[in-house]
Every structure is written in C-alpha cells, then in structure tokens.
Amino acid sequence: MSFYIEKTTKCLICGKPIESFKEAVLLPYIISDKSSSLLPFVKKYVHRKCFDNWNKRDEFAQSAFKLGENMIREGHYENVIYYDKYFIIDYQKKENFYKVRDFLLIFEILINKEQAENAVNFFKKVYLGDNSKLEHGNIVFNSQGKDILIIDYDKDEINDEIIIPHFRINDYITALDKIVKHNENNNREY
C-alpha cells in the first residue's frame, strides 16, 4: 500500500511526480502469477494519462476484472446487477445507490436511479455528436469533443475527474441501462 503525497509521489510508469490527486490513479489488486510483470504496479499510483496510454493497460484491466469476478462468486459484493465489459455494478439497497466500478478506466462512481436515467440520455446525445452538459447533484457531465468529462464533487471539492473516451461510451450506455431497467423491475414488484 502506498500513500499519495502531492507533488512528491512518483508515477510508476513515467517516473515523474504526480502534481495533483485528480491526475493520479491508484492501481487495484489483480489476479496474476508471481512472475507477472504486472505485479509491481499493484496498489501503486500512476498518472491517469500514463495508464490510459500504457501498453499493459488491457492486460492489467483484465486481471483486475477477473479478480472482481472471483470476489462476486465469493460473496464480497452486496447485490451485483451487472458484470460485463469491465464493469461491476453493485446495488446498495439501504442507501438506494448503485456503485459502478469500471475496471478499464479504473473509476468508481455512486449513482442513483434518476442520475442513471439522465446520464443514459446524455451519453446517447454525446455519442451522436451533440454538445451538451448535464448537472445532477454532485455529478457534472460535460461533452468534450467526442468524449465525456465527468466531475464528481464532494461539496465544493473535486472528488474525482475522468474522461470517458468515445470508444467506451456505448459500454456506459449498456451499463447505465441496466440500472434504469433494474429499478423498473423493482417498481413493478413493490
């Protein structure tokens, strides 16, 4: 386990210091054998940009996702409604929130039903080339060319900031749709 220290913690990919926390990503645990060249990166900080352009990114994301799948089987999640395309979506009934974990972009967000509905429509619009912006509670979605910038606020502070690249938007539409549909089913039941 390593700690992030502003302007001091170095990125393990490029070796340069990471200026601010929002540029940093903490790499998760993975499944691998002891000789894997990925192991030294586990639980280390890297620049988000370096991770996105890393030639081992897909391999790393797959190993992390595989571990996630094992954890589902072992009962570490509360109520998984979807796992595919590098996502695990877990419904947290008590808080009525969905925790969306993206193993490819290494990103996690808590979203409620209403936010998911609005986000699906927003993602569809941007996918078709619309410029738009969506503000919903603590989460702001912004189109940036063909990509989407998500900023997650904790009061006035930026909690996390991430760009969803265009190639990933369709996967987000699929995943967010699962949340919308899951709720529709719930409403019919109760």
27 near Zn ion, judged by CB under 5 A: no
Pick the piece of the chain touching Zn ion (CB under 5 A) from 3-11, 21-29, 90-98, 111-119: 3-11
Please state the closest distance from residue 164 (CB atom) to Zn ion, in A.
Answer: 20
Output the CA torsion 21→31→41→4 (10° steps).
Answer: 30
Please state the closest distance from residue 144 (CB atom) to Zn ion, in A.
Answer: 21
Please state the closest distance from residue 29 (CB atom) to Zn ion, in A.
Answer: 20
Rounded CA-CA distance 151/17 in Å is: 23
Please state the closest distance from residue 161 (CB atom) to Zn ion, in A.
Answer: 16
11 versus 104: smaller Cβ distance to Zn ion: 11
14 near Zn ion, judged by CB under 5 A: yes
Residues 67-91 as b/e (b if ≥16 CB within 10 A, e otherwise) read ebeeeeeeeebeebbbbeebbbbbb
180 near Zn ion, judged by CB under 5 A: no
139 near Zn ion, judged by CB under 5 A: no
47 near Zn ion, judged by CB under 5 A: yes
Please state the closest distance from residue 109 (CB atom) to Zn ion, in A.
Answer: 23
The strand ranges marked E within the chain are 24-26, 45-47, 80-84, 87-92, 97-102, 107-111, 133-136, 139-144, 147-154, 157-164
Pick the piece of the chain touching Zn ion (CB under 5 A) from 9-17, 51-59, 110-118, 170-178: 9-17
Rounded CA-CA distance 53/55 in Å is: 6
Binding stretches for Zn ion (CB under 5 A): 11, 13-14, 47, 50
